[in-house]
Every structure is written in C-alpha cells, then in structure tokens.
Amino acid sequence: MAISAFAVKVPAAEALVGDLRCRYDATVALGVPAHITVLVPFMDPALITPEVLERAQQVLNKTPSFDFSLAKVERFPETAYLAPEPAAPFIEMTMALVEAFPNFPPYGGEHQGVIPHLTVAHGNTLNADAAAAELQIRLLASGAVHATCTEVTLIENSSGRWQDMHVFQLPQASTRFMRNVLFICSRNQWRSPTAEQLWRRHPLISARSAGTSPNARHKVSVDDVEWADVILVMEEKHKSRLVAEFTRMLEGKPIHVLDIPDEYKYMDPELIEELQRSVGSILEID
C-alpha cells in the first residue's frame, strides 16, 4: 500500500552527504533527497483530502521557521546519521502531527521516542561504520552545515518513487528583536564554539561560530558574514583579519571585541562566565 510522509528537505547538506547517500542509502534511488523526517508513515495518498492538508497546515503553523545546524554524527545499529541542533522544533512538529492524526504514530510505533536525524547510511552495520567515519572527517574539514527550516514537504510513493505531494510553509519567526550573532575566534575549536553553544538557545539570538585561521574547524565564509547582524570576535586580531578579507561586506555591521584570550578549553566554566558577562552586556540581554 502506498504511503506518505512529512519531511524537511535539507539541500544545504547535499554537498556533504550526497555521494555517501548514493552509496549507502537505497532511498536515493527512489527519489528521496537529503532530509529530516518529521512523520512516517502517514496515510495513503489517495485518502489525503484538502481537509487533511488544511488540518496539517494548522498543526504546523504552531512552529515558526527556525535555523538549525548539522554538526554531529550519530548512530543507530545499522544507520549513520547527522543529528540536527536544535532538535526540539522537529520533535514538536512530530508530536503535534501525531496528536492531530493519532492513527499514524512515528515509524508505525516500532520505536520509543522521537530522534530527529538526517540518514546518510542505512541497512548495514559495516556501511554505517564507513559512512560515519567519513562524515567525521568531512565535518572536521568543512564545519557544520547551517540551514533554515521554512517549510515541511509531504511526499508520497504511489508511483513507486517518492515525489512531492504538498508543501506546507511555516510561519515566519518573529524577528523584531532577534539577531543573528556570529562568534569568531582563530581556529573555531574552543572559544567561539563555546559561545555558540551558550547562546544558541536564547530566544532573542540565532548563533553561529567560525574561525579566521585557514586551519579553522569552520573558516568564516561570505555566507557567515552576510548572515550576521552582529559579529563578536575574541581578540582585536580577529577583527583586523575580518576587515581585511570582507571590507565591503562589513559596512554597517557592528563588530565587538570581547578581549577573551586563547586560554580556555571548550565549555570551560571561566570562559562561560566571561562570555555571559561580556556578551550579555554588549547585546543588552540576560
């Protein structure tokens, strides 16, 4: 019997995982792009009426669009996947759909709990091991994938291949007071990732981190600078390097120097205390 599914497509991840999915995920041959499943299985496409679509839209309207990142490789026994952060909005959408359509529990009720994931390899432990190892290497080289969830796609397989059936637009998040804050250090290993982790769940901040060094875990990019409303650098030298590389793009963008030396490890309590004090003061938030 044909089924349908709610999914969040992640085209930004294709460059990182596309070839691995072709090798290790059989759904690619059936037309499935890189995605994070929200709910599967859903009802037979032949039974999906305009009323069902309207009900689903009302449910999904409860979740505003949101930014997320893919920076962590995780495993199920025969699956390697990227775990989205934050995971909460994906889980909220899943649970809201289940409440509205109780006959369709996630994965047919076969698994306990909901773990959002972007599958890269599935069905074979050895393949999952290989894919996970390669993903770790690639993430260290390129840094996290950053994306924005603005829509959920209902896909169906009545033809034998998966294809789009309907797209649900999520409401735009309130940006009246929200700011995109880019944290910069040298190698994006200790200070700026700590700042991103510390502030990314704040309701008024969307946070990213990057480094100025060519050897940075994630080197600051044109996309990062364009995205940022405010840039917070750890030392004066980071500001100088940004200005030298992105002079025109930085016009009108405030850059603040936090004066935090390279003396701390990731999530060091003293570093956290210093970031809370300095960042909170500059952005005038708690």
Is pTM, for the whole model, over 0.85? no
Residue of 56, 79, 245, 40 lying closest to 168 (CA atoms): 56
pLDDT value of residue 179: 86
DSSP code, position 219: B
Locate the DSSP E strands across 99-224.
118-122, 145-149, 151-156, 163-169, 179-185, 205-211
- Top pLDDT among 34 and 199 is at 34
| Mean pLDDT for the chain overall | 93
Q: Residue 4: pLDDT above 70?
A: yes
Q: How confident is the model at residue 177 (pLDDT cuts 50, 70, 90)?
A: low
- Does pLDDT of 43 surpass 80? yes
Q: Judge whether residue 205 has pLDDT over 80.
A: yes
**176 pLDDT tier (thresholds 50, 70, 90):** very low
Residue 260 and residue 271 in contact, taking contact as beta carbons nearer than 8 Å:
yes
Burial of 261 (0-12, 13-18, 19+ CB in 10 A): exposed
pLDDT digits 0-9 by tens, 79-92: 999 999 999 999 99
User: Of 204, 90, 188, whose CA–CA distance to 196 is shortest?
Assistant: 188
